[in-house]
Amino acid sequence: MPYVEKSDFKRDMNYIPDRITRDGRDGWPVEPGRYRLIAAKACPWATRSIIVRQLLGLEDVISLGTPGPTHDEDSWTFDLDEGGVDPVLGIPRLKDAFEARIPDYPRGITVPAMVEIESGKVVTNDFPWITHDLFHEWADHHRDDAPDLWPDDVREEMEEVMERVFTEVNNGVYRCGFAGTQEAYDAAYDRLWTALDWLEQRLADRRYLMGDSITEADVRLFTTLARFDAVYHGHFKCNRQKLTEMPNLWAYARDLYQQPAFGDNTDFEQIKAHYYVVQDDINPTGVVPAGPDPAIWLEPHGRG
């Protein structure tokens, strides 16, 4: 969960470190039907895992539970399900799965989370490893034409690109939004736009971040871009330009959105409800803006 310390934004990256692997070395072996992915479409970190699950064709292998977009400080809740209860796990709050595993769990209740269905225990909420392992550890269950999200020939460069996207863009918008002083905000703003200008230039001569094919790097960038004009531009004060005013990034984002795994799992109403309602320290009125019009995401992108 994000927090502000000494006026600078920090992200708590201390997650449950267990992984679901082929060899089950952490006690959690790959097994179709054994686990449920809990991931809110409002959350960019969680939406990554939903997109990857669909790209790889794992929908019938790992079930999906989707908490609602608004929650209290205690837990994500299953407001979208009948009776406010997840229909598979039978719980109203994701916190229940965390405390089934670790009583009085002391940290934030975050999504995405992988939960073992039979025991009702959370396995992990370590979001970068969840998507990594959906590709590498669940490979025997991918659909035949699944994309190679971690190509060997560009792996080293891709790791560098993803690190910069994470620190400067994914986290960069939060660094702006939660800055506690003008000085912290100004520094965060400069870092964010330096990175976005770099991405705009990078995408001038390639369709995707690593070339002609979608990789994990694109998934990680997309979830921030999808929220940019709807949330980050105004709510987080990232307002030098809108995404729609950056030709390469905007066309690239539309290209991804118009592919089912991305567009199917981008819910602008949930996104806006989450940020503008839950983050009442930034938006104390709780008013949720009506725009922008999502129809523009379906305009031709010209990047084929």
Place of tokens 């990047």: 303
Say which of 15, 105, 174, 276 is annotated catalytic.
174
- What phi and psi values does residue 115 have, to the nearest 5 degrees? -120, 135
Looking at the structure, tell me whether residues 135 and 254 fall in a common domain. no
Looking at the structure, tell me whether residues 128 and 177 fall in a common domain. no
**Predicted pLDDT of residue 53:** 98
Residue 302 lies in a domain: no
Looking at the structure, tell me whether residues 261 and 160 fall in a common domain. yes
Can 238 be counted among the known catalytic residues? Answer: no
Domain coverage including residue 268: 152-272
Query: What is the b/e burial string over 9-42, where b = at least 16 CB atoms within 10 angstroms of the residue's CB?
Result: bebeeebbebbbbeeeeeebebeeebbbbbbbbb
Looking at the structure, tell me whether residues 219 and 125 fall in a common domain. no
Quick: pLDDT tens for 156-206. Answer: 999 999 999 999 999 999 999 999 999 999 999 999 999 999 999 999 999
Q: Residue 17 maps to which CATH number?
A: 3.40.30.10
Q: How many Cα atoms within 13 Å fall on the side-chain side of residue 255?
A: 21
Residue 300 lies in a domain: no
Say which of 3, 35, 43, 185 is annotated catalytic.
43
Counting the structural domains of the chain, the total is 2
Fill in the DSSP letter of residue 184: H
Q: What is the pTM of this model?
A: 0.96
Looking at the structure, tell me whether residues 157 and 222 fall in a common domain. yes
Place of tokens 């939660």: 178
- Residue 304: band (very low, low, confident or very high) from pLDDT cuts 50, 70, 90: confident
Residue 28 lies in a domain: yes
